[in-house]
Amino acid sequence: MSLESRRLSSGYVNPPQLDAALKLHHFILELAPYHLGISPVEIDYLDVLFGFDLAFSGNHDEIIAESLLAVSPLNCIAEEAGAKAVDVQPTVTVALSEDCRLQARIDVVTRTNSYQVRTGDYSDDVISVYLILRRYWGDRPRQSTQQLLGEMSERAEELCDKYLVPRILRPISTAIASRS
């Protein structure tokens, strides 16, 4: 958990079940108004983040280009003789509601740098894939933050099962496995 001047964050790494993480976050949201003076009027947005780390000691950007962008027109520059991927970190954000107040974002974060690509000396860092659901307030929400958190967590889990796991995580895992 972290508390900054304009942000309250909490996380649960590798929960045994989603309910365990939700229980913690519900508890924090329940206490925030009383112990931190945070009210729904002061909240700009609420985020739910599901994060996945994939271990790979090699060119992360090359793995992402190969597994997610192989047939994309965006990857055409990689066809240039001698081209090497050095920064392939796709991010996509979409609105999931008519008023654009509910949005989903997929971030793929690589940690390879140009020095590593040049020397072939790669670290043991992970490739991270994040699904972030964000609900902007606009005006005061008609539901409690706890209720919104529950609904957003369910939606994020559905999006992970339907899209993130089969279309993002599996292809990256398969590309990593093919290099082992």
What sign does the CA torsion over 20, 21, 23, 27 have? positive
Query: How do the domains of the chain map onto residue ranges?
Result: 47-178
Lowest mean pLDDT among 31-35, 105-109, 141-145: 31-35
What sign does the CA torsion over 97, 98, 103, 105 have? positive
In terms of DSSP bridges, do strands 2-4 and 7-9 run parallel, antiparallel, or are they unpaired? Answer: antiparallel
By CB neighbour count within 10 A (0-12 exposed, 13-18 middle, 19+ buried), where does 90 fall? Answer: middle
Higher model confidence: residue 4 or residue 172? 172
Higher model confidence: residue 76 or residue 171? 171
Report pLDDT for 140.
64
Residue % of the chain over a pLDDT of 70: 92
Structure confidence by residue, pLDDT tens digits, 19-52: 888 888 888 878 776 656 666 666 788 889 999 9
- Kind plus residue range of the DSSP H or E element containing 170: helix 170-178
Report pLDDT for 35.
59
Report pLDDT for 7.
74
Among the listed residues 56, 50, 47, 112, the one whose alpha carbon sits nearest the alpha carbon of residue 86? 112
What sign does the CA torsion over 142, 147, 153, 158 have? negative
Higher model confidence: residue 16 or residue 36? 16
Report pLDDT for 44.
82
> What rounded mean pLDDT belongs to the chain?
89
Higher model confidence: residue 92 or residue 40? 92
- Assess contact for 139 and 149: CB atoms under 8 A: no
